[in-house]
Structure 1
Amino acid sequence: MNVAQLILLGIQIAEAIAAGVPEAIEAKKAIDRMLAENRDPTDEEWSALNAATAALHRRVQGEER
């Protein structure tokens, strides 16, 4: 995970948390685990984070309830 990706993901999760999207907390926990383990996401984790981020973005934008 490079710095720009981490910053973008953090901003998106913060927006989702502020909008009251509960899934954002799970995404944050996953990132916290990776940081605590001092490792990059696996391909599977990247796929899950990308899917979660896209879903969170849709919910924040009001496209999905």
Structure 2
Amino acid sequence: MHAEKNVRDALDKSVEKLESASQAAHDKTTKEVVDELGRMRANFRDVYNKLNSNGESLNTALD
């Protein structure tokens, strides 16, 4: 009976550690993805603005 409780306690602790590590990995990955999406949006806006500016310059040059 005592050994059973020890095994159960050890398993509970192992599961808690696994859950904790899993949550930490999830949080880290989520932050990295959100940060990268922010950088991608900024890069997209920059390219979009440059394309619009170049288009306007071309239109002006052709007029």
Asked if Structure 1 and Structure 2 have the same fold, meaning a TM-score greater than 0.5 normalized by the shorter chain, the answer is no
Greater fraction helix: 2
Looking at both structures, which has the greater relative contact order when contacts are Cα pairs under 8 Å and sequence separation is at least 6? 1
Normalising by structure 2, we get a TM-score of 0.33
